[in-house]
Amino acid sequence: MPTVRIATWNVNSLHARLPRLEEWLGIARPDVVCLQETKCGDDSFPTMAFTTLGYEAVHHGEGRWNGVAILSRVGIDAVVDGFADGGESDGEARLLTATCGGVRVATTYVPNGREVGHEQWHRKLGWLRRLRDHLDAVASPDDDVVLCGDFNVAPDDRDVWDPQRCHGGTHVSPEEREALAHVLGWGLVDTLRVRHPDDALYTWWDYQAGAFHKHWGMRIDLLLASRSLSDRLEWVLVDRNARKGTKPSDHAPFVAQFGPG
C-alpha cells in the first residue's frame, strides 16, 4: 500500500463551509477526508464540487442536523450507512463506513450528550458502546482500520483547557472517557498522542468570547488507527489555520499520514 494521508473535519454545515473546504483540500491534499456535521440532505450534497477536485464522495445525510461524508481519491468501496451491528437504526446520520485505498475507514459524529445525567448523555454512552460492536461487524483489528470523527469526548485532562469549565461536565466525565476507552480497546491507537504525548493540542474552540485566541479549547476530534497502520504513522497535524479567517468551522481539521506498507 502506498503512502496515504487521511483527514477528519467537523465542518459545521457543508454548505456554509464549502469555500473553506475547497480551499483547504487544495492546500492539505489529503487522500481521504471524513466530514461531520454536513447538515445537508443527500439531495443537496455538492458532489460535483468534489469531483472537480478529484474526489469521489459518499454522504449519509439527514437534512438539518448531523450528516457524515467520506471523500476519497483512492477509491470508495463497501459503503455502510450507520450501524452494521444488526440492531435498529438510531434514526440519525452519525456513522459512515467505507473502504478507501485498502483502508477500512469509519467516520462518526458522536451525540453531544447535552448535560451529565441527561437522557441524551445516557444515549451518548450507549452509542459509544455500540460503536465498538459496529467495528466488529465491519472490520478486524488486524486490518488497516481508521475510526475518526468528532467523538464529543476529550480523552484526558491534557485534552481540555480547563476540565472544570466544560459543558457542565460533559466531554470530560469518567463515564464518557471509559466509553471512549472501550472503543479504543477494540485495537485502536490515538494517532495524535503517538507524536505528541503531552502537548496541549485542541481541535475545537467555542465561537463565543474569543475562545480560539484564548486557547480555550478541547481535543474532541480524533483519528484512531489500528496497529498495522499506526506502526506506519509518519506525521500528524491539527491545522489551526483552518480555524482562522472568514467563516471558519468551530473545529479544526486533523490530518494523519501513514507511510507505505
User: Where along the sequence are the contacts to DNA (CB under 7 A)?
Assistant: 12-13, 15-17, 39-40, 63-65, 111-112, 114, 120, 207-210, 247, 250
Taking the complex as a whole, the smallest distance from the CB of residue 18 to DNA amounts, in Å, to: 9
Taking the complex as a whole, the smallest distance from the CB of residue 95 to DNA amounts, in Å, to: 15
Q: Say if residues 260 and 1 touch (Cβ distance below 8 Å).
A: yes
- Which is closer to DNA, CB of 131 or CB of 139? 131
Q: Say if residues 148 and 131 touch (Cβ distance below 8 Å).
A: no
- Which is closer to DNA, CB of 64 or CB of 174? 64
* Residue 31 CB coordination number (10 Å): 21
Taking the complex as a whole, the smallest distance from the CB of residue 92 to DNA amounts, in Å, to: 9
Q: Say if residues 184 and 195 touch (Cβ distance below 8 Å).
A: no
Distance of CA 131 to the CA centre of its chain: 13
Taking the complex as a whole, the smallest distance from the CB of residue 41 to DNA amounts, in Å, to: 8
Compute the distance between CA of residue 35 and CA of residue 40 in angstroms, rounded to an integer: 12
Strand partners, 150: 109, 221
Name the pairing type of β-strands 221-226 and 188-190: antiparallel
- Which is closer to DNA, CB of 13 or CB of 228? 13
Nearest to 201 by CA among 215, 190, 191: 215
- Which is closer to DNA, CB of 134 or CB of 243? 243
Taking the complex as a whole, the smallest distance from the CB of residue 4 to DNA amounts, in Å, to: 29
- Which is closer to DNA, CB of 20 or CB of 104? 20
